[in-house]
Amino acid sequence: MQLHTLQAASRSPSASRFRHSPTSSILFALILLTITGAIVCWHVMGDLPRIIMLFSAGSCALISLFALSTVKHALRATNWILTVDPQQVQIKFRSYLNAHFPQEDPQVAELKLTEIESANITKQTLKAPGADNATTTSFHTFLDLHTPSTDLQPLKAQLKYERTCKAPKTGRLVTSSSKYQHYPVSIVGEHTVRIAWRSPSDRITPNIKTALKAFSRQGIRIDPLQKETHDLTKTASEQTAQDDQILQLAEHGNMLAAIKLTRKSYGMRLTEAKAFVEDLLQ
pLDDT of residue 175: 47
Q: How far is CA 255 from CA 39, 185, 215, 258, in A?
A: 31, 17, 33, 5
What is the model's pLDDT at position 174? 42
Q: 147 and 27 in one domain?
A: no
| Residue 236 domain flag | no
Give yes or no for a contact between 128 and 259, defined as CB atoms under 8 angstroms apart: no
Residue range 185-194: average pLDDT?
Answer: 93
DSSP state for residue 1 in the 8-state scheme: -
Amino acid letter, residue 64? S
Q: Specify whether 114 is located in the same domain as 209.
A: yes
212 assigned to some structural domain: yes
Which H/E stretch holds residue 254? none
- Give the pLDDT confidence of 118-140 residue by residue, as tens digits: 999 999 998 887 777 778 898 99
The verdict on 39 and 89 lying in the same domain is no
pTM: 0.82
The tally of domains found in the chain comes to: 2
Output 209 or 129, whichever has higher pLDDT: 209
Residue 103 belongs to some domain of the structure: yes
Between residues 252 and 96, which one has the greater pLDDT? Answer: 96
Are 120 and 40 in the same domain?
no
**Domain identity same for 219 and 158:** yes
Q: In terms of domains, do 116 and 194 share one?
A: yes
Q: For 45, which DSSP code?
A: T
Query: DSSP 3-state assignment of 269?
Result: coil
Distance CA 87, CA 194 (A): 20
**Are both 70 and 189 inside the same structural domain?**
no
The reply to whether 265 falls in a domain is no
Burial class (CB in 10 A: 0-12, 13-18, 19+), 177: exposed
Give a yes or no: residue 200 inside a domain.
Answer: yes
- Determine the pLDDT at residue 40: 82
- Does the residue 279 lie in any domain? no
Question: Among 72-76, 108-112, 237-241, which stretch is predicted with the lowest mean pLDDT?
Answer: 237-241
Distance, CA of 59 to CA of 90 (rounded, Å): 40
Whether residue 28 is found in the same domain as residue 154: no
- Residue range(s) defining the domain that contains residue 7: 2-22+76-165+181-231
Give dist(CA 269, CA 2) in Å, integer: 42
Range in 32-36, 45-49, 93-97, 234-238 the model is least confident about: 234-238
Domain for residue 85, yes or no?
Answer: yes
Report pLDDT digits (tens) over 69-93. 778 888 888 999 999 999 999 999 9
Mean pLDDT score of the chain, rounded to an integer?
A: 86
**Confidence at residue 218, expressed as pLDDT on a 0 to 100 scale:** 95
- Residues 80 and 69 both lie in one domain: no
Res 155 pLDDT > 70:
yes
